[in-house]
Amino acid sequence: MDEKRLKFLKIMLYVVAGVIVGRLFQIQILQKNEWVAKAEAQHTFENKIPAKRGEIYMMDGSEAEPVVMNEQVYTVIVDPFEADERKIKETIFTEGMKNYLTVAEANEVFADKTRRYFVVAKNVPRELAQKIREAEPGAVWLRENTKRVYPEGQLAARLLGFVNEDGEGQYGVEAALNEELSGKDGMLKTVADVNHVALSIGKDNVKVPAEDGKNVVLSIDKNIQAGVEKILAQKMAEFGKDQASALVMDPRDGTVLAMANLPSYDPANYGNVESAEVYVNRVTSDPYEPASVCKGFTFATGIDLGVLTPETVFYNNGYEMIDGWQIKNSTYGRSDLLGPTTIQNAYNWSLNTGSIYALKLLGGDPNQITVKGRKILYDYYVNHFGLGKLTGIELFEAEGLINDPEVGDGRDSMYANMTFGQNLMVTMIQVASGYSALVNGGEYYTPTVVKGYMEDGKLVEKEKAGPVRRAVSEETSTTMRRMMWGTRELMRAQGIDRAGYDVGGKTGTAQVIRDGAYSMDEWVATYVGYGGATGQMPQYLIMVRIWKDGETTGAEQYAQPVFNDISNFMIDYLKIKPGV
């Protein structure tokens, strides 16, 4: 009987062993692929190989100089659960680390000892990180990352933008060219241990190298940029205005040489601003009403179509009644300008009645505004001069708005207003590009702010794009320069415009819409003008916008002086020799 019992125990062993081997067969042979898949899902890690973000250069004369660079910095992370509080205090909470700590006291890190991850310092420079590493405090990680540094400080900050904590470009060039600048991250696919440390065990490890971002060279000349910003700051202080933007470009090919917006901010500490408004590059992304500078577009349209010349005479009544609205000249009170006068005078003295007369002539009827006239003006504004639509510059831009010439009520008064730059929304870059076409012989160029790329320390220039279209005829352009030159008689008389130089321009004082109506006591001042040696094509085009909310800022008084300074600065900087 006892032998049977032993046999029973033995049989039980065999049964259990059989079950085990059967189970092993099931797991290891039948279900193998399932388990391998689960293992792979668990063991395989894709590590990003971060691409190096491209740096940003500006021109320094003919050389490219970096204005936005990368610096290797470290984030210091402590594991409060494992770390020795005394050691952490001694090695990390030092005097030298003060500016980088994210917590004031070491105690805070150890308030909750169960935590395994605590960022104690950010943007720690390499030397300090090295010191911490050598001190071996234990349970501390130094995570490498890059930080943008700005050797030129706040220069062109609103053009350049910044890079946020996640490494994404925000505003300006950093945002608009984010893709080019950030490059393409590489990938390391590897079998790793439970702490995600790569193992040499796997045979399917994959490595795709990172493609570093491009080093973008802007066409901006940092000296011009600095000069323009300095002049803006001076004039703002002098005039007591708090907002100003300026744009300098080469009208001959649309190259932007300076794009300034004040006040600026420190991109290295971009968080220290009162409002995000200070990040906005107004030149391209803030549409507004530039007012009378648009008279240049209106007159050029008429001249180009042969319906008027600067000498064309019209009767200036001081105001016009259209759609039941009285549209006045800003020189309403000056009786000497009343009566018959020329288009050139209308341009010089910015007579709204003159540009309205031009609109009437466009429609073929000197006595009234017609659909035909409105349609022609719309066509020239939008399709010839590029107003109210994206210019195609490499930055973020706003489109603005030019209302339809036919659909809608009150089109006559609206278009009458549009002849002198109100009742429409355009950006500075649109106006400046259109004016470039007016003065450069009549060809429209897409404005550009990118000159090329730095490759292996050498500037590789982007191929220059030709003109996009003919905006006006060469003769019209010549006439427009003459008209713009004509407005600056006083400047020449005062010696502001020096002999041997051809400098022309136009003011624009815009009423600002407040609560749905044009305000009588809040104006924005604009000036657009060109300059160069007499007898030559203009070498620069400058557009200025200056204002202060709630104040009347007249163009002649405030914008023109800024232009004057920048114009003379350009002549000096470009060393333009006087012509004859």
Partner 1 sequence: MRKHRGDRIILFTTFILLIAGLIIIYAIGPMRANFLNAAYGGDISENHFFIRQLVNVILSIAAFVVAVKLPYETTKKLGKWILLAGIVLSVALLVLAKTGSSLAKCELGACRWINIGSFGSLQPAEFLKLGLLLYLSQLAASRKADGTLNKSDFWLPAGVASVISLALVVVVQKDLGTGVVIIAIILATIFASGVEMKKFALVMGAILVAAVGVIVTSPHRVERVRTFINGDGADTYHIENAMIAIGTGGLTGVGVGNSVQATGYLPESINDSVFAVMGETFGFLGLTAVVVIFVVMLTRIMRVAELAATEEQRLVAVGVFAWVAVQMAVNIMAMTGLIPLTGITLPLLSYGGTSMMFVAVALGVSYQLSCYTKREKELAQKKFSSGHLKKRRLNENSSSRRR
For the CB of residue 75, give the shortest distance to partner 1 in the complex, in Å: 19
From CA 439, how far away is CA 253, in angstroms rounded?
12
Q: Is 115 in the site for partner 1 (CB under 8 A)?
A: no
Residue 404's closest CA among 434, 379, 368, 431? 379
Q: Is 193 in the site for partner 1 (CB under 8 A)?
A: yes
Options 29-37, 47-55, 325-333, 463-471: segment touching partner 1 (CB under 8 A): 29-37
Residues 6+ apart with CB under 8 A from 62: none
Q: Is 362 in the site for partner 1 (CB under 8 A)?
A: no
Q: Is 234 in the site for partner 1 (CB under 8 A)?
A: no
Residue 194's closest CA among 28, 48, 39? 39
For the CB of residue 36, give the shortest distance to partner 1 in the complex, in Å: 5
Q: Which of residues 42, 107, 317, 519 is near partner 1 by CB under 8 A?
A: 42
Q: Is 206 in the site for partner 1 (CB under 8 A)?
A: no
Scan residues 118-147 and list those touching partner 1 (CB under 8 A): 138-139
Options 12-20, 100-108, 309-317, 442-450: segment touching partner 1 (CB under 8 A): 12-20
Q: Is 117 in the site for partner 1 (CB under 8 A)?
A: no
Write out the two tokens for 184. Answer: 């393409």
Residue type for position 367: N
From CA 161, how far away is CA 70, in angstroms rounded?
15
Options 7-15, 285-293, 310-318, 325-333: segment touching partner 1 (CB under 8 A): 7-15
Q: Which of residues 121, 191, 327, 432 is near partner 1 by CB under 8 A?
A: 191
Residue type for position 163: V
Neighbouring C-beta atoms of residue 155, cutoff 10 Å: 19
Scan residues 45-84 and list those touching partner 1 (CB under 8 A): 82
Of 199 and 313, nearer to partner 1 (C-beta) is 199
Q: Is 14 in the site for partner 1 (CB under 8 A)?
A: yes
For the CB of residue 1, give the shortest distance to partner 1 in the complex, in Å: 6
Q: Is 13 in the site for partner 1 (CB under 8 A)?
A: yes
Of 62 and 195, nearer to partner 1 (C-beta) is 195
Phi, psi of 127 (to 5 degrees): -65, -40
Residue 43's closest CA among 177, 145, 160, 189? 189
Which alpha helices (H) appear in 153-221, and where do they start and end?
A: 157-160, 172-176, 178-182
Of 16 and 520, nearer to partner 1 (C-beta) is 16
Strand-pair category, 339-342 with 313-316: antiparallel
Q: Is there a contact between 439 and 484 (Cβ–Cβ < 8 Å)? A: yes
Size of the site for partner 1 (CB under 8 A): 40
Which alpha helices (H) appear in 305-441, and where do they start and end?
A: 343-348, 352-362, 371-378, 411-418, 428-439
Q: Which of residues 61, 130, 199, 465 is near partner 1 by CB under 8 A?
A: 199
CA distances from 1 to 5, 8, 9, 10, 11 (A): 7, 11, 13, 15, 15
For the CB of residue 82, give the shortest distance to partner 1 in the complex, in Å: 5
Of 2 and 515, nearer to partner 1 (C-beta) is 2
* Residue reference for tokens 């040499």: 200
Write out the two tokens for 385. Answer: 């001069």
Which positions touch partner 1 (CB under 8 A)? 1-3, 5-6, 9-10, 13-14, 16-17, 19-21, 23-25, 27-29, 31-32, 34-36, 38-39, 42-43, 82, 138-139, 191, 193-195, 197, 199, 201-202
